[in-house]
Amino acid sequence: MTEHAAAPVRIFCIGRNYAEHARELGSEPPAAPVVFMKPATCLVAPGHDIAFPEHGRDLQHEVELVLRIGRGGRAIHAAEALAHVDAVTVGVDLTLRDVQTELKGKGLPWEACKAFEQSAPLGEFVPVGGLDVGDIAFWCDVNGERRQTGNSGGMTFDCAALVAHLSRIWTLRPGDLVYTGTPAGVGPLRPGDQFVAGAEGIGRYTWRIAG
């Protein structure tokens, strides 16, 4: 059984939360969660075409497990954090890697490479129920080829730790989303490509880069 997400309040995204992905980008795993944000207008439901951004050249896929906050709170203890998550799905953090490299080199914010229009494809939410969010396999296929595989058990900071960390900085609200980070294997998307994000116990969802 799936359900559509409630209107999101905010989209929190976690960078470099899988060690091998951090290393494939030339970084070491961070000592604390790396947080950036996207506006809710970046979300794209399954089945829709996505325009290739005109301000960059190297568009890449980053498949991620996505949490939805069902019960808000502030300074949530990690032991209680998962009780604040009511649903989970899989999504893709689309990234303009060339723009990101340029911005990082200049010490500038990431919005232009991470928070552009249609940069957050999102599947349909499944109630957490009996799912173990600490052991969910997920993947990304491009044109029928498996590009990324991961398991939420490989996170540097697990789901409970992420919710607790975010709640120390922001008061979490029902509808907030957390993109929890991507495993290794990120790669390019080109006009005409079809990509699929899927996860065990959740489903598989398809988008296409318009071309």
pLDDT per residue over 72-114, tens digit each?
999 999 999 999 999 999 999 999 999 999 999 999 999 999 9
> Taking residues 12-21, what's their average pLDDT?
92
pLDDT of residue 19: 87
Mean pLDDT of 177-198: 97
Q: What is the mean pLDDT of the chain?
A: 94
Tell whether domain 11-209 is in CATH 3.40.50.10860: no
* 66 in Cβ contact with 89 (< 8 Å): yes
Pick 184 or 23 by higher pLDDT: 184
21-25, 134-138, 180-184: segment of lowest average pLDDT? 21-25
pLDDT band at residue 197 under the 50/70/90 scheme: very high
Q: Is residue 76 exposed (0-12), middle (13-18) or buried (19+ Cβ within 10 Å)?
A: buried
Asked if 202 and 89 count as a contact pair (C-beta separation under 8 A), the reply is yes
Say whether pLDDT at 29 is over 50.
Answer: yes
147-162: b (≥16 Cβ within 10 Å) or e: bbebbbebbbbbbbbb
Looking at per-residue confidence, does 20 or 53 come out higher? 53
Write down the pLDDT at residue 1.
Answer: 37
| Collapsed DSSP state (helix, strand, coil) of residue 159 | helix
pLDDT of 28 reads 80
pLDDT of 6 reads 54
**What is the reported pTM?**
0.94
